[in-house]
Amino acid sequence: AKIEEILYPYQKAGIVQDIYTTVGRFDKNRSFTIATLKHWDERTISQQQIEEEINKKLVQIPGSLVTIRRGNSLGIRGAGSGISIALTGNDYADILQVALKFKAELQKRIPIIDDVQISFDTSQPELSFNIDRNRVNDLDVSLNSISQTLRVMVDRYDVADLNIDDEAVPIMLGSIQGAADDPGDLLNIFILNRNRELVPLTTLVDIKEAGVAAQLDRHAQRRAIEMNITFPPGNSLGDLIQQVRSIANEVLPLDTGILFRGEAATFDENNYEVAMTFLIALLVIFLVLAAQFESVGSASIVIFTVPFGLAAAAFALSISNQTLNVYSQIGFVMLIGLMTKNAILLVEFMDQLRDEGRSVNDAIMEGIKVRLRPVTMTVLSTVLGSLPLILSKGPGAEARSAIGWVVFGGLGLSSLFTLYLTPLGYLLIAPWMNPRSHAERQLELELQKAERKGAFQ
């Protein structure tokens, strides 16, 4: 109710469209309130700004732990709610003590953290019935009778199914006064032993009331306690994951493991997949160039400029306050193919000049003069074509901006590296390579030699 009161003003202002709450579905102490926002064009405040405003009010609700989760374009469940982790171990009590210590260290060493929530609440009341097996044997009582009697009194016991006109009707056995909700009533029950004698339940069991966790989690087939680390929007998820992992290596004992979940796990997985995609793209481009140039050396000259272009793209991200996210990583993969075309224009023309008999130095100087205009034209067309990505606004603008800055800054700056480093690489590698016409001349000489040898014979 208090959360909905905070959201009502946003609904009246036309920012929030619908509000509905689910209470006690998975845990009697938890509720989920969902507020659907109006379309982007129908409001003047972003999702992140709404979250920041609401969060300041939610933390003032006494005795509550509130976590905000927002939707995302990648469809990752739980994204935007912080870093979700699970501590695994052998005993829940030991894991809880480690989690409390780990929580204190995180809040102490990482100032930007808003809160660290531990999902292990032992406030769920539970009644434990401990059966004294010695007394049960002495009084000749069946354990099955005890369990069935308790089930009948607390809930209902399914005795059988009666089939009437192809319809199954369950026969349920229960207390005529309804389910017992008082432990004292349960202790007044009598059980029949094998001798058909009534035995009071109080002589067979001891009842113990205690607080337990409503849910016991397991991850990687081990007992686990989940933790959720919340932090303000605008901070790098990758940097925070690295800090959390570093503190965990120092604080957690050897028998306690840590597993990243949700968005953090997806982040690590995507980083690995993008890195593998990047390496595969680089390898494929190198093999294609080697086949087209018919020379490994010429392909190596083109690939030689790639690291410098990637450094230029990283510099463009830093000056534009962008992060190395999934979208910018996609831009890096695109950039490999875009920036190699400039080096291809230079290297191919220089190889043609060498085939005509020019020296390496003459081929470099002539190639730079002739190919400067085509390289400039291709760079300008691609760079200017990426401007709409940077200047775009509306839903998804952050994703387009990240890719646009990689292409705009990376390709623009890498062109300068290409114009200087490609001739330098050619000057270093080309003297160790034979021109492509060398193989043709060698073949002609071999054919002429074979013809003369045949005429002489």
Highest-pLDDT range among 131-140, 266-275, 437-446: 131-140
Average pLDDT of span 70-91? 70
CB 95 within 8 A of CB 223: yes
DSSP-derived 3-state class of residue 350: helix
Average pLDDT of span 361-381? 84
Lowest mean pLDDT among 11-15, 64-68, 419-423, 438-442: 438-442
Q: What is the pLDDT of residue 422?
A: 80
Express each pLDDT in 266-279 by its tens digit: 777 777 777 788 78
Q: What is the pLDDT of residue 88?
A: 92
Q: What is the pLDDT of residue 319?
A: 81
Q: H-helix or E-strand containing 345? A: helix 326-355
Q: How big is the chain by its Cα radius of gyration, in Å?
A: 36
- pLDDT at 54 exceeding the cut of 80: yes
Q: What is the pLDDT of residue 338?
A: 77
Vertex 51: Cα angle to 49 and 56 (nearest 5)? 105
CA distance 394 to 300: 42
Instruction: Count CB-CB contacts under 10 A for residue 170.
Output: 10
Instruction: Count CB-CB contacts under 10 A for residue 228.
Output: 20
CA distance 81 to 110: 17
Let me know if 377 is exposed, middle or buried by CB neighbors in 10 A (0-12, 13-18, 19+): exposed
Which amino acid, residue 37? L
Average pLDDT of span 230-248? 80
Q: What is the pLDDT of residue 437?
A: 59
Both tokens of 239, joined, read: 């940097």
Average pLDDT of span 119-131? 80
Q: What is the pLDDT of residue 173?
A: 82
Which residues, in sequence order, are bridge partners of residue 161? 170
DSSP-derived 3-state class of residue 17: strand
CA separation (Å) from 165 to 162, 171, 453? Answer: 10, 16, 105
CB 28 within 8 A of CB 213: no
- pLDDT at 73 exceeding the cut of 80: no
Instruction: Count CB-CB contacts under 10 A for residue 145.
Output: 16
Express each pLDDT in 384-441 by its tens digit: 888 888 887 766 677 788 888 888 877 777 777 777 878 888 888 877 777 665 556 6
Express each pLDDT in 217-230 by its tens digit: 888 888 999 888 88
CA distance 100 to 95: 9
Place of tokens 């401990």: 130
Q: Quote the pTM value.
A: 0.58
CA distance 308 to 419: 12
Q: DSSP states of 92-136 as a string?
A: HHHHHHHHHHHHHHHHHH-TT--EEEE-----EEEEEEEE-HHHH
The 3-state secondary structure of 296-332, one letter per residue? HHHHHHHHHCHHHHHHHHHHHHHHCCCCCCHHHHHHH
Express each pLDDT in 310-337 by its tens digit: 888 888 888 877 777 777 877 887 887 7
Express each pLDDT in 39-49 by its tens digit: 877 888 888 78
Q: What is the pLDDT of residue 440?
A: 60
Q: How many residues does the chain have?
A: 457
Q: What is the pLDDT of residue 380?
A: 84
Both tokens of 73, joined, read: 């374009």
Q: What confidence tier does 382 reach under pLDDT thresholds 50, 70, 90?
A: confident
- pLDDT at 78 exceeding the cut of 60: no
Q: What confidence tier does 153 reach under pLDDT thresholds 50, 70, 90?
A: confident
Q: Which of 379, 284, 283, 281 is nearest to 338 (CA)?
A: 379
Q: Can you point out the beta strands (E) in 165-230?
A: 167-173, 190-192, 198-200, 205-212, 217-219, 222-230
Average pLDDT along the chain: 80
CA separation (Å) from 103 to 121, 162, 318? Answer: 15, 56, 32
Both tokens of 301, joined, read: 């000259």
CA separation (Å) from 143 to 103, 319, 438? Answer: 45, 74, 95
Q: Which of 91, 204, 90 is nearest to 142 (CA)?
A: 204
- pLDDT at 255 exceeding the cut of 70: yes
Q: DSSP states of 52-78 as a string?
A: HHHHHHHTTSTT---------TT--TT
CA distance 270 to 291: 31
CA distance 416 to 397: 28
Asked whether the CA dihedral 374, 380, 383, 388 is positive or negative, the reply is negative
Vertex 314: Cα angle to 308 and 317 (nearest 5)? 145
